A = this chain, B = another copy of it.
Amino acid sequence: MIFVTRRERFNAAHRLFRPEYSDEKNMEIFGKCSNPNWHGHNYILFVTVKGEINHETGFTINLKELSRIIRVFVLEKLDHKNINLEVDFMKNRLTSTENIAIGIWEELEPHIKEHNAQLHCVKLVETENNFVEYFGNEN
């Protein structure tokens, strides 16, 4: 068993707020992250996959294929988007880093499986000081 990680990046806008709250209450709970006019981040995404090494190729998973899966199922939905308004898998979810990481896990997990590998970790870096790691709902 070996662990392989691919780093990808996307730039997106978002806002932390609950629609049933007033702007004032959102500001109180979420601070400046609740700005109704949005703000944004250069998100950095680390996707870690685990599996046996294929002796024909020396690879656990072909990184070009892993990169393609991430691009099609995650980056094309998130990059240069408004995460609150435009991302199908974030509908009705607060766009906290935690929830985005879980959403990305759910998007990727079935597609990794098809390659004789398992998704191990989604790490999502929001700023140089804050990041989140999700290992699936069995961990």
Contacts and interface: CB of A to CB of B under 8 A. Distances in A.
Interface of A: 1-9, 11-14, 16, 18, 29-33, 35, 37-42, 48, 53, 56-60, 63-64, 79-82, 85-86, 93-99, 101-102, 127-135, 137, 139
Contacts of A3: 132-135
A40 to B, nearest CB: 1
A132 B57 contact: no
10 contacts: A2-B132, A4-B97, A9-B127, A12-B39, A12-B40, A37-B85, A42-B128, A53-B102, A58-B93, A63-B130
A25 to B, nearest CB: 12
